[in-house]
Amino acid sequence: MKEKEQKKDLYIPLPVPEEKEFVSGIGNREIRYIGFCIFFDLVFCISLHIFSQSLMIDFIVFIIFLFAGFIFFIKRDAFNDNGLDKIRVYFAFQKAQKKYAYEYHNEIKCIEHRNEDE
């Protein structure tokens, strides 16, 4: 009976990763995404090199896309989401019903009050 009477606080862990991470924000899924990003980046830069014939432009484009992939796919916030997850949530709730605060104003009474003042 004493155990039932005792009130226990609810323990809610906050930033707990969903899966095992090698480094903070980088787990198996992120490594897979970054691998795909590097692969497509290399394919794009090789095809760009065929048309541009400039190694410097290819290198700059490769570095920009590589950093963009890292920023986009690594989890960086307290909600354990990366850029791709945030876009998925945005499109999932884009058509959700929006709630607006509404205040009723009696326009007829306001017009009558204004006519009385004139």
Q: Is residue 51 part of a domain?
A: yes
Q: DSSP string spanning the chain?
A: -HHHHSPPPPP--SS--SS-EEETTEEHHHHHHHHHHHHHHHHHHHHHHHHH--HHHHHHHHHHHHHHHHHHHS--STT---HHHHHHHHHHSTTSPP--------HHHHHHHHHHH-
Q: How confident is the model at residue 90 (pLDDT cuts 50, 70, 90)?
A: confident
Question: What is the model's pLDDT at position 112?
Answer: 72
Q: Is residue 10 part of a domain?
A: no
In the three-class reduction of DSSP (H, G, I as helix; E, B as strand; rest coil), residue 95 is classed as coil
Q: Is residue 8 part of a domain?
A: no
Q: Is residue 50 part of a domain?
A: yes
Q: Look at 30 and 100; give whichever has higher pLDDT.
A: 30
Separation CA 38–CA 44 (nearest Å): 10
| Mean pLDDT (whole number) for 21-36 | 81
Q: Is residue 95 part of a domain?
A: yes
Q: Is residue 13 part of a domain?
A: no
**CA-closest candidate to residue 65, choices 85, 86, 44, 83:** 44
Q: Report the number of distinct structural domains present in the chain.
A: 1
Residue 114 has pLDDT above 80, yes or no: no
**CA-closest candidate to residue 25, choices 60, 72, 66:** 72
Q: Is residue 59 part of a domain?
A: yes
Q: Is residue 38 part of a domain?
A: yes
Residue 95 lies in domain: 21-117
Q: Per the confidence metrics, is the pTM higher than 0.85?
A: no
Tell me what percent of the chain is helix, strand and coil, each rounded to the nearest 5.
60, 5, 35
